[in-house]
Amino acid sequence: MNAVVIDENDPIMESDFIKEMAKQMRALDGYGTWEGYSNAKLLDPFILTPERKKEIPVVGDPDEETLARMQAFYNAISMLIEKECGQMAVPLLKLSHEGFGRALITVGKLVVMDKTLRDVHRFGFASLSKMKDEADKLLSVAVELIGEHSKVAGL
């Protein structure tokens, strides 16, 4: 990846989701490789501009970095669910080596998010706001489900 496409001064950088994403990415950095990185530089690989997308083959197996980014994305959503409802949210990713599978988030015995995944090797978003919009949508549905089925979520 070449130049960073995320503006560090973008107001979206102050949102709870983006801050949580940065925390999740830093948690993956066991060797301190990203220690001096700004949040914008840290989250930059999530953004697939048309130019970046052209560099990724149409068919391919996901690499470890892409899988880690995907895990961080669903971990961040889980943390925001916990913050919102006060109950533990557990993310689960199950993928084939070819990058097809599912992402689930459970709260108690309740599945609050179930997303079919395909072409995981191309996981990313057109912009930071698109990533936040997707997370907000998933969070909203999850919190609504928890409200509607609080007994199951409490098990």
* 3-class DSSP state of 12: helix
Residues in the chain: 155
75 has a pLDDT exceeding 90: yes
**Of 32-36, 48-52, 135-139, where does the model show the most confidence?**
135-139
- Residues 53-71: what's their mean pLDDT? 89
What pLDDT is recorded for position 97?
Answer: 86
Query: Are the beta carbons of 62 and 95 closer than 8 angstroms?
Result: yes
- In terms of pLDDT, which residue wins out, 3 or 48? 48
First to last CA, the chain: 44
Computed over every residue of the chain, the mean pLDDT equals 93
Domains of the chain in sequence order: 11-153 (1.10.3100.20)
Among the residues of 28-149, which ranges form H helices? Answer: 39-43, 50-55, 64-85, 128-148
- Global confidence as pTM: 0.92
Question: CA-to-CA distance for 123 and 111, rounded, in angstroms?
Answer: 23
Contact 26, 75 (CB under 8 A): no
Predicted confidence (pLDDT) at residue 1 exceeds the cutoff of 60: no
Per-residue pLDDT, 2: 63
The whole-number pLDDT of residue 24 equals 96
The alpha carbon torsion through 64, 65, 69, 75 (nearest 10 deg) reads 50
Grouping H, G, I as helix, E, B as strand and the rest as coil, residue 7 is coil
